[in-house]
Amino acid sequence: MKYEKIKSKIDHLIKGRNFLRKLFYVGLNLILLRTWHVRKEIKNFFKSRDGQINVLDAGCGFGQYSYFIAKKFKNSNVIGVDINEERIKESEKFAREERIENLKFDIADLQNLNYEENFDLILAVDVLEHIENDAKVLKNFYRALKKDGLLIISTPSTLGGSDVHSDEDTSFIEEHIRHGYSQDEIKSKLEEAGFEDITFKYTYGKFGSLSWKLMIKFPILLLGKSFIFVVLLPLYYLFVLMPGFLLMWLDGRVENKSGTGLLVKAKK
């Protein structure tokens, strides 16, 4: 599945339409299970810190996490960076028009970040699996963090991440460089970059994986065939939203022994 083609169509749909962009953010927050997990960790982080908090949303995409943090936490200064120039320009225009003073966006390749002890928190949500030289990116993150700063990573695991369950399977998202990470692999790369106090949590366990199929996989398959199916999505979600929410809620409440996603936290 060429996910970037669908994202480009979404870019066109929300371009210059701030109300639609915010509505799109609401939709992502509702149907993406990883968002539930990541937002929880962000809230926990801000509860544990006082004063001004500088945040880097690395590979920010549409900018929904950057927007969430800047709006909810007034003591934050947020920079969202991404390699997609047009997407960044539109996000910057949106933040300016909405007068969100503590939110900025910039064009950047994560392999060439040059920040030096600038940030208290770095987010890398579904980013590393797209980058060949992930070890270099992790070293850049380490350098960019202040002492005691926190890195939060959400990424597919090798236990079925990217919808790959055997050697014969191909990634559901064709733009992925790798299907996912094992705990040992990503821990080794984080430690090599200098990180300490590394913790893991499996996401998308048996409940979450089923919610992903209902809430994400089937709709994306339809949109991949024809974007005209976007008009049918409200009807589709009318039937699957509540069962999907229940499955997502369960994924956040149980301790998954395994899962197709990994939520990783690492401190400098």
Instruction: Judge contact between 77 and 136, C-beta under 8 A.
Output: no
Q: Tell me the one-letter amino acid at 111.
A: Q
Tens-place pLDDT, residues 142-162:
999 999 999 999 999 988 765
Mean pLDDT for the stretch of residues 120-149: 95
Average pLDDT, the chain: 89
**Into how many domains does the chain fold?**
1
* CA–CA gap between residue 172 and residue 169 (Å, rounded): 9
CA angle at 83 for the pair 98 and 106, rounded to the nearest 5°: 40
Mean pLDDT for the stretch of residues 22-28: 93
How high is the pLDDT of residue 170? 52
How high is the pLDDT of residue 227? 65
Q: For the domain that residue 43 is a member of, what is the CATH number?
A: 3.40.50.150
99's CB contacts (< 8 A; 6+ apart) are none
Tens-place pLDDT, residues 235-262:
888 899 999 999 999 999 999 999 999 9
**Residue 180 tokens, joined:** 């996912």
Instruction: Judge contact between 216 and 28, C-beta under 8 A.
Output: no
Range of the domain at 100: 3-267
- 43-52, 83-92, 97-106, 152-161, range with the lowest pLDDT: 152-161
* CA–CA gap between residue 15 and residue 91 (Å, rounded): 9
pLDDT at 234 over 70: yes
Strand partners, 181: 157
Pick 91 or 158 by higher pLDDT.
91
Tens-place pLDDT, residues 195-210:
989 999 999 999 999 9
Mean pLDDT for the stretch of residues 218-247: 82
Q: What percent of the chain has pLDDT over 90?
A: 72
pLDDT at 1 over 60: no
How high is the pLDDT of residue 159? 83
